[in-house]
Structure 1
Amino acid sequence: MRAKDVLPDQQNQGQFNGVIVRKGTVAAFLANARLWLDETASVAERTIAERDILDALPALHALGLFDIVQVRDAALCELVSVSAARPG
């Protein structure tokens, strides 16, 4: 399966397990995770990255990303795991 088979070029979002997921959500998570883990990033940059990670987690869980991919960094894994247990 190719990306265009999941979301064609003209489609910017899809519904997965009852959650609307925008195209680019996984790539944005990866970029934010790299920034959040970057020790040279400012506190403000890391705070924004963390907020964006938390905002994306319902979509990433709906996609089943963390059922397949394991987060290796312990702090990031904790952030992802704790948020999965939160209601809503």
Structure 2
Amino acid sequence: MRAEQMLPDHADRIDAGGTTIRKGTVGAFLVNARVLTDPDAAPADRARAEADAIDALPALRTLGLFDVMEVRDPALRAWLDAR
């Protein structure tokens, strides 16, 4: 499947199983994961990344991201499992 088959160019979100998934959700999660695993991240940046990642979890789980990809960082994996 190509990206435009999942989300056409004119759309910025889809509804899947009652969950709204916005374009860029996976990419934003990856950026937030980098902040959450950065020991030098500022507390404010870490807090913002945590809140944004939590908001994205329903969409990421609906997409099945964690069913096909394993988070390698043990602390991040534990953080996700706790949510």
TM-score range, shorter chain: over 0.9
Q: Report how far residue 18 of structure 1 moved.
A: 2.2
- Identify the residue that residue 57 of structure 2 maps to in structure 1: 57
Deviations 1:7-60 (A, max 9, x none): 011000001232110010000000000011111211111111011111100110
- Identify the residue that residue 81 of structure 1 maps to in structure 2: 81
What TM-score do you get using the length of structure 1 for normalisation? 0.89
Contact 1:17-1:63 at 8 Å conserved across structures: no
- Matched ranges for 1:18-57 at <5 A: 18-57=18-57
The alignment-based identity, stated in percent, is 49
- Dislocated runs of 4+, deviation >3 Å: none
Q: Report how far residue 81 of structure 1 moved.
A: 1.1
Once superposed, what is the RMSD of the aligned Cα atoms? 0.8
- Report the number of matched residues: 83
- Identify the residue that residue 4 of structure 2 maps to in structure 1: 4
What TM-score do you get using the length of structure 2 for normalisation? 0.94
Unmatched 5+ residue regions in structure 2?
none
